Amino acid sequence: MPGRPNFNAIVKQTSQKALEANPREVEAFTKLNLCNRGLVIIPRLEANLVEIDLSGNGLVRTTGLANLHHLQKLVLTSNHITELQDLTGLPALQHLLLQGNFLCTLQDVGLHMLAQLPQLQSLYLQNSDTSQPNPVCSRPEYKSVVLTTLTHLRNLDGERRPSCRDELASKADDSLPNITKLSSDEADITKFLPSEWDAWLAEDADVGTQHAHSDLHQAGAATAKALDECNVLSGSLKDELAKVDRLLKQ
């Protein structure tokens, strides 16, 4: 029976392949996908990584991530993590995904540790539709305590911080009259939205909302197509009614 694969060697080999493919741009190797590899511990990782996907493994602890000073996105979904540890060495971390783990209490989440990550903007302990929740998500004080402790957080479980939503909503009020005047010739409704919405739509592009902007364009185009089809059907119906009228008069 083959032994457990050496994941430290896998990481090293992957790095070497990237280096050989592009020897003059070593820094281009900044994203690493180790999902569904059967990992039970986090292997030693390259210090220049910006994104790491460790989802779908058997990780219980988050040790082994120290000194990844450039890391911006960490995906740890669908593991067996019961407590967050040793994340203070990630000063550039912006997005932390932890859905589908076993964090039972707010202490397990390590809020005071996360509060020391100045760039952290998005935290997912469950999906926006409440699927894949950690047990802590069912606690009544969960959201209020997290948002109160992590004052710099802008997105919790796919939901904007209330203050951010209110600001965007107030700036959208002036745009609503223009949107209601939208015709089939003006399928792109995004041009009527406040300029701040472009940044909002793009801000979490890598954390579950990367298709939001394109979906908005597609929805407008689909609406325009439906209106055109209705116009064609309406014309056809008028022609048929005219034929019936002529037959009745014969």
Q: Could you read off the pLDDT of 88-137 as tens digits, one per residue?
A: 999 999 999 999 999 999 999 999 999 999 999 999 999 999 999 999 99
Predicted confidence band of residue 245 (pLDDT cuts 50, 70, 90): confident
- Cα distance between residue 129 and residue 244, in whole Å: 52
Tens digits of residue pLDDT in 64-74: 898 899 999 99
Neighbour-count burial of 174, counting CB atoms closer than 10 A to its CB (0-12 exposed, 13-18 middle, 19+ buried): exposed
Q: Which residue's structure tokens are 């739509």? A: 201
Instruction: Give residue for tokens 């185009």.
Output: 221
- The CA distance from 64 to 86, in Å, is 8
Whether the model clears a pTM of 0.75, i.e. scores above it, the answer is no
120 or 233: which leads in pLDDT: 120
186 in the Ramachandran plot: left (φ > 0), alpha (ψ -120 to 50) or beta? beta
How far is the C-alpha of 84 from the C-alpha of 111, rounded, in Å? Answer: 9
| Backbone torsions φ then ψ of 39, nearest 5 degrees | -70, 140
Give CA–CA dist 71/65, Å, rounded: 9
User: What is d(CA 153, CA 125) in angstroms, rounded to the nearest whole number?
Assistant: 13
Alpha-carbon dihedral sign for residues 107, 113, 118, 121:
negative
Residue 192: predicted pLDDT: 46
| Residue listed under structure tokens 């990780």 | 59
Classify strands 159-160 and 122-124 as parallel, antiparallel or unpaired: unpaired
Closest CA relative to residue 54, chosen from 66, 70, 68, 37? 37
